[in-house]
Amino acid sequence: MKYVLLLYEDDAERVAKTEEQVAICVAYAEAMAKAGILVGGERLRPAWSATTVHVAEGETHLLDGPYAEAKEQLGGFHVIDVPDLDAALEWAARCPSARRGRVEVRPIWSS
């Protein structure tokens, strides 16, 4: 089953410490790749760089910023393919972001 690990962290801190944390994250992603479970994933630019779009009654509304204002923001994600939730949760528990913030494990909608 495919799961996405959504990495929520204090956005300001994550961006400030990008340099030192990048090596840790790369090592973790490499471990997933070696295990043959990594499907993909990306690191996101700071939440302030987001633009949120909503269309109502034919009109497009833009908001400068992320969908929800919060200290902890989505900072990146991994997509993994593992046998079941237990395996996904085990990988999530190893994730550096689970220490700095929260990791949400969400199954991907596929047949």
Partner 1 sequence: MGQEEDRLSREAAEAVARRSYGKLVALLAARTRDVAGAEDALSDAFAAALVAWPASGVPSTPEAWLLTVARRKWIDATRRRRSAEDASGHLGLMAEEIEAAAAGESQLPDERLSLMFACAHPAIDPGIRAPLVLQTVLGFDAAAIGSAFLVSPAAMGQRLVRAKKKIREAGIPFQVPERADLPARLEAVLDALYAAFSEGWSDPTGTEVRRRNLAEEGIWLGRLVASLLPEEPEALGLLALMLYAQARRAARRDAQGAYVPLAEQDPAAWDTPLVEEAEGLLSRASGLPGTGRYQLEAAVQSAHVVRRLTGRSDWAAIERIYDALLAMTGSPVVAINRAIAVAETRGPAAGLEALDALAGDLRLADYQPYWAARAGLLARTGAGASADAAYQRAIGLESDPAVRHFLEQRRAELAARGR
What is the sign, positive or negative, of the torsion defined by CA atoms of 46, 48, 49, 51?
A: positive
86 three-class SS: helix
Q: In the complex with partner 1, which residue's Cβ is closer, 39 or 44?
A: 39
Closer CB to partner 1, 47 or 80, in the complex: 80
The CA distance from 59 to 88, in Å, is 40
The Cα 21–Cα 55 span in angstroms is 37
Q: Is residue 30 near partner 1 by the rule CB under 8 A?
A: no
Least separation in angstroms between CB 96 and partner 1:
21
CB of 73 to partner 1, least distance (A): 24
* 69-88 binders of partner 1 (CB under 8 A): 83-86, 88
Q: Are 98 and 10 in contact (CB under 8 A)?
A: no
Answer yes or no whether residue 104 interacts with partner 1 by CB under 8 A.
no
For partner 1 (CB under 8 A), the number of binding residues is 10
The DSSP code sequence of 17-38 is THHHHHHHHHHHHHHHHHTT-E
- State in angstroms the smallest separation of the CB of 107 from partner 1: 5
Q: Which residues contribute to the site for partner 1 (CB under 8 A)?
A: 1, 3, 83-86, 88-89, 107, 111
